[in-house]
Amino acid sequence: MAPTEKYGLFRLHPEPRKPYNADDFSVDIVAIHGLGGNPMNTWTDKDGHLWLRDSLPSHIPRARIMTFGYDSSILLGKSRMTINDFAVDLTNRLEDERQQHQELNRPLIFICHSLGGVVFKEFLVFIALFDEYIRIRESVSGVVFMGTPHRGSKAASTAQVLSKIINAATLGSLLRTDLLRTLKVASAELETISRHATHRLKHLSVISFYEKKPLGATLIVESYSAILGISNERAIPINADHRKIAKVSPRREQRYHPVWASIKKLVEGSLVSSYTHNDSQRILDYLYCVDYKMAQIRPGQPQRGTSQWIFADPTYLSWLNSSHPSVLMLAGQPGSGKSVLTRCLLESMISGGGSKQHSTSNYLGINFFCSYFESAINSEEVVLRSLLHQLIQLNSYCGQIIRNCLEKQTKTGPKLSLERSGLRHALFEVLSMDAMKHVFIVIDAIEELGSEIAMSTLSGLCKVSQDLSERHPESRLKVFVSSRPNPAYLSAMPNLTILSMKNAQTRRDIEAYLEAVMEDFATENSDFDAVASSSTRHNIITQIMRISDGMFLSALKDLLQDACDGRSRADLVSDYSFLLYASESFLYQILKIPYDDSLWLEFSDLAAKYSIYTLKSLKPDFWMYVDGERHTMNYSSPLKLVIDKVPPPAKESLIRNFKEHGYDLDEKWSRVSCGGPLQHCCSYAGKDTDKRKAAFLLLRLGANPSLPKKPWRSNIRYAIEGNAQDLFEELLHHPTTNLGDRDRQGQTLLHSIVYTASIEQISQVTNVIHDVDLNIQDFNGFTPLHLAILTERTEVVRKLLTVPGVRLDVADKQGRTPFTLATYWGFRVMALALIEHSQAFPVPEANKLSGLVYAAIHQQKDFCTSLLEMSSYRNLEYHMDLSGKCILHHAAINNWGDVLDSCLRLGKPSIEINQMDHSGRSAMHYAATLGNVDSCLVLVRHGANLTLQDRNGRTSAQAAADAGFKDVLMVLLKSGRVNPNQCDLQGRNLVHWAATLDCVDVMERVVNAPGVGVVELERHDKNSKMPIDIAFQCKCRNVGQFLADKMRSTSGYFNIYDWDNMYCSPDVTDGDRPKKPDTEVPDWLRKKREEEKEERRRYPHDLWSLVIREKDKENEERRENRRERERKKERNRERERERERGREREKDKFSTDDRL
């Protein structure tokens, strides 16, 4: 039995007369009717079936279903409640209805028809503003929109939109204009509500049903208005009109099924998202992977008086006090106390002592100490899982967000995924919460993860910080990372702030630590305490600190033996305490040795198959300190260090000593540096005289110039690029130089010389090459001649053409011969140089490209004509580009009527005038689309088929009308071979397309086309548009009147469009809109009026207004005429833009239909 009242929140299931037990229901569903609707009648069909009450409960039995009624009457309605008032009323009624404990967090699903969707969006905005409605806000899980006009209608004017809505809601004339104004096109209130609600809607599950049947003549809410277009929305069409879309029934199962099935999915999704304490514990168990608490306490507590310098450091204070999310890296040497300092900083931040100038007591701290875990389990996923695990323990609400980010649907149901992208997204979403604005993340010894993982982890944290800064500027996230110095971090992340630990800062801490250790040792050993005076203890501490700066070479042989035996770096570091320091400092120490010292020869002995340069566990970090800063020194061998760092003449002397001592100058003992010393010298020969001299010395001492195998660049090429002519000649004539060797690109010496070598150098090379194939191809299929063309070196091309054996028919991997390659890039001069040889312009073979076509592509008409004459216009059908266009297509595109005429006259019978490319277009299609009249005339004269259709089903005449070329269209129509009734894939015939042009003469010729019979003027396209509808949409008044008259005379068509007043807009003045009395306006408007009145009183119009004098009236009339002309031009441009938007909508519609 229906309630007697219409306004309020009414329960439909269970029925009001039946008992209600909150434990029996797990979700609430609320229906909101639309404009002029009723809480019951809106959802009831003509047979009295209210599907929300009579059908839906059978599918979702555990759902309490309610319907909300509000006064949205627009006929004889006296209520003045606004959209906001309706939303506030709905909020209060839901708050009162959900008072029991089981109902407080119960998921909420809404079903909204028409204006009800706007009320729902205002409801979302309202509950987001007040914390007292947080339970309702967090309970809203999904919404179903049924014909909600989110954007209004672009297909009609404002008056038409209003008339549609009025006709859909009532037949009266006494209307509530305030509600109608809300739904009109470009309504400020509608735009504001949609903009404010968009962020909230992105977190919900959204389903939008849109109508596909018109109510009367047209659709009330078109699809583009009913669809939000957000990523979490699912749009579903319903074959019903605006009223019946909400009156579904099992009697029409195909219309009803998608509605109840979609609502059921929303309900199930909301129940899955419902979060409990048990869920929190389960996700904690799932994320747990390592004992990060134990790792946090592994670093020792700092000695009293140490680790305090950082709290006064300007870089640290600037980072800590910044008002946006930021990342700080602490860079320090191994053993400098980074982990101890990091633990001290973390505990200080959590306890609120991070800075005297900045309160940090409200920071939540999470951490991961990388160096205290096995390397096998160190990964970015482990770090992120540990951080998320700690965040849930700090705030249990984080668990729900993390689960939603990690959960994925599988065939067996929802499962949590631990992929890196999902973990990063979960971290960002949690840190975006208001309650998690102050979080302090600490990552210690990030380099222990490995260089690749460390870089990925650090960049991920920087990305999270940057995204928070852009999207949530209120966040105060602080990320603190400690690591060994690594310049790669700063190059990959330029905005990263780095705080380097200076020797002066750490030396004081080390000294304090040693003093404390000495004091403890004296306490435990009374004998030492008795004999060691304070000065003795100070000397011991000084000696230890001095030794820590030294170099440990005495145990190198044992170290090498252990490394050869396969011991890991961790074991070596454990047994040889000096290794970490020696790995970073030995180069610095070596360069301090006098150049005549025999230690240099012992240093050269380190270069061997098993050495610090080849064994991974011993490979040193090639660093060097300069002015207290650490710099990369990439020296992969002793000889390379001598070449780079030792000045002449000691450099030449040491190189000879190394050779005499038995050093392998080619360094074949190393896969990495094999042939490296000579190559290094050749690469700098043009800029460094000392390295050029070193290259000559190495060659005289027996270095092999053909090493390394497959280099990035050969030694000869380095010499050519460096303009080192003497070194080039020495390498070229060296007995061990192999001129046929390839580099990493598969290129030989012949390929290399065409880049920068002079003609004399090329002549030298070609004179000494005898056993090398002149047409050898690299990995791209390029011969030396191809590369000469690509580098645009015409003189080199001419030189190579004089060398016997050079072939012009070799094609690269894309099927391009040298001639085709020249025309492909538009190098006309080189193409002319090549064409002098008869074999340069053959008939293209299969999978090879045509130089003739590419000459046409580059619009080189004279060149193209010459090529056609050379070919005697034969075999033209073989000349095509990659898209299937032949010479006819390109001649039509370039509007070369004479070339077209010559090809069609002289190229028969091989040439086909109607040949189509891969898009199904003939030469006529392109000529018509581009408005090339000359080409169209030639093609028509030679009998081109005007009924051919491309892949969109369009003929050349339709393409010309679509592009707006009247002269081309008239040429085609005058031929008498156009069929106006031929339709494209959108269901449009030529009359539809001609209606986009406001040219009556064109339309007359289309309508009176010969040999067709009756032209279909009332044909509907796939969007139910007739040509007259298209004419109105494109503002073609003359053609529209012509079609209306023609259709009325032939079929009795009733004209619904006002063509006479299409461009007439009424004059609106302030006097036409009387102001409401102050008693009827809001307070803010009344205040604004008072301020305007006060301004007018203080600043009268006669003091500042401009007055047109009598003598200026003539000038003003001329200006008005100019303005009128500009307005006319703007109307024409708007018409063109409307046509373009219409075409885009049709394309979108066609693409959407294909996907469906």
Q: What is the pLDDT of residues 267-322, one digit of tens each?
A: 866 755 555 556 667 788 888 887 776 666 666 666 666 777 888 888 888 888 88
Distance of alpha carbon 144 from alpha carbon 109, whole angstroms: 8
Task: Check the CA dihedral 883-885-886-890 and report its sign.
Answer: negative
User: What single string gives the DSSP state of each residue in 863-900?
Assistant: HHHHHHHHHTT-SGGG-B-TTS-BHHHHHHHTT-HHHH
Least confident of 2-6, 153-157, 674-678, 814-818: 153-157
Distance of alpha carbon 911 from alpha carbon 983, whole angstroms: 29
Q: Architecture of 279-501 per CATH?
A: 3-Layer(aba) Sandwich (3.40)
Tokens of residue 993, six digits: 């397309």
Could you tell me how many residues make up the chain? 1156
Tokens of residue 291, six digits: 């004992």
Tokens of residue 250, six digits: 């099992």
Confidence of residue 2 (pLDDT cuts 50, 70, 90): low
Longest CA–CA span in the chain (Å) reads 129
* pLDDT for the residue 561: 57
Look at residues 27, 31, 24 and name the one whose alpha carbon lies nearest to residue 9: 31
Helix/strand/coil for 969 = helix
The residue type of 936 is: C
Helix/strand/coil for 424 = helix
Look at residues 963, 1041, 974, 968 and name the one whose alpha carbon lies nearest to residue 1005: 974
Distance of alpha carbon 382 from alpha carbon 849, whole angstroms: 54
Q: For domain 986-1065, give the fold.
A: 1.25.40
Please give the distance of CA 471 from its chain centroid, rounded to a whole number: 16
Look at residues 174, 171, 187, 103 and name the one whose alpha carbon lies nearest to residue 139: 103
Residue 670, φ and ψ in degrees, nearest 5: -120, 130
**Which stretches of 549-645 are assigned E, i.e. beta strand?**
623-626, 629-632
CA distances from 732 to 124, 719, 806 (A): 79, 10, 21
Distance of alpha carbon 41 from alpha carbon 34, whole angstroms: 11
Q: Which helix (H) or strand (E) holds 728?
A: helix 725-732
What CATH number does the domain located at 8-274 have?
A: 3.40.50.1820
Look at residues 715, 718, 714, 638 and name the one whose alpha carbon lies nearest to residue 670: 638
Distance of alpha carbon 438 from alpha carbon 363, whole angstroms: 5
> Whose structure tokens read 């216009």?
873
Q: Domain extents for the chain?
A: 8-274, 279-501, 509-547, 550-632, 739-847, 850-978, 986-1065, 1094-1156
* Residue-wise pLDDT tens digits, 302-316: 666 677 788 888 888
* pLDDT for the residue 425: 87
Percent of the chain with pLDDT over 70: 78
Look at residues 1011, 940, 948 and name the one whose alpha carbon lies nearest to residue 970: 940
Confidence of residue 624 (pLDDT cuts 50, 70, 90): very low
Least confident of 562-576, 624-638, 700-714, 884-898: 624-638
The rounded mean pLDDT for the chain is: 80
415 bridge partner residues: 408
Is there a shared CATH topology between the 8-274 domain and the 986-1065 domain?
no
* pLDDT for the residue 563: 59
Which of 201-205, 731-735, 917-921 has the highest average model confidence (pLDDT)?
917-921
* pLDDT for the residue 629: 45
Look at residues 458, 455, 464, 394 and name the one whose alpha carbon lies nearest to residue 429: 464
Average pLDDT rounded to a whole number, residues 77-90: 86
Higher pLDDT, 77 or 643: 643
Which residues have C-beta within 8 Å of that of residue 401, sequence separation ≥ 6? Answer: 426, 429, 430, 433
Tokens of residue 946, six digits: 């005007």
CA distances from 336 to 304, 340, 489, 500 (A): 16, 9, 20, 11
Residue 240, φ and ψ in degrees, nearest 5: -155, 165
Q: Do the Cβ atoms of 834 and 809 come closer than 8 Å?
A: no
> Residue 709 above 70 pLDDT?
yes
What CATH number does the domain located at 739-847 have?
A: 1.25.40.20
452 burial (CB, 10 Å; 0-12 / 13-18 / 19+) is: exposed
Quick count: other Cβ atoms within 10 Å of Cβ 115?
A: 27
Average pLDDT rounded to a whole number, residues 329-335: 79
Q: Which helix (H) or strand (E) holds 129?
A: helix 115-129
Confidence of residue 1085 (pLDDT cuts 50, 70, 90): confident
* Residue-wise pLDDT tens digits, 36-57: 899 999 999 998 999 999 999 9
Quick count: other Cβ atoms within 10 Å of Cβ 1036?
A: 27
Checking 158-164 for CB contacts under 8 A at 24+ apart, the result is: 158/184, 158/185, 158/186, 161/185, 164/215, 164/216, 164/218, 164/220
Q: Which of the 8 DSSP states describes residue 329? A: E
- Helix locations, 1034-1074, DSSP H: 1037-1051
Average pLDDT rounded to a whole number, residues 539-544: 66
Confidence of residue 531 (pLDDT cuts 50, 70, 90): low
Domain at 850-978, CATH from 3.30.420.40, 3.30.365.10, 1.25.40.20, 2.40.50.140: 1.25.40.20
Look at residues 240, 259, 252 and name the one whose alpha carbon lies nearest to residue 31: 259
* Residue-wise pLDDT tens digits, 210-244: 998 888 777 888 887 888 878 788 889 998 998 99
Confidence of residue 993 (pLDDT cuts 50, 70, 90): very high
Tokens of residue 469, six digits: 């800064």
User: What single string gives the DSSP state of each residue in 746-771?
Assistant: S--HHHHHHHH--HHHHHHHHHH-SS
Distance of alpha carbon 300 from alpha carbon 65, whole angstroms: 61
Distance of alpha carbon 299 from alpha carbon 389, whole angstroms: 21
Quick count: other Cβ atoms within 10 Å of Cβ 1091?
A: 9
Q: Do the Cβ atoms of 972 and 936 come closer than 8 Å?
A: yes
* pLDDT for the residue 628: 43
Q: Which helix (H) or strand (E) holds 366?
A: strand 364-369
Give the global pTM: 0.38
Helix/strand/coil for 625 = strand
Q: Which of the 8 DSSP states describes residue 407? A: E
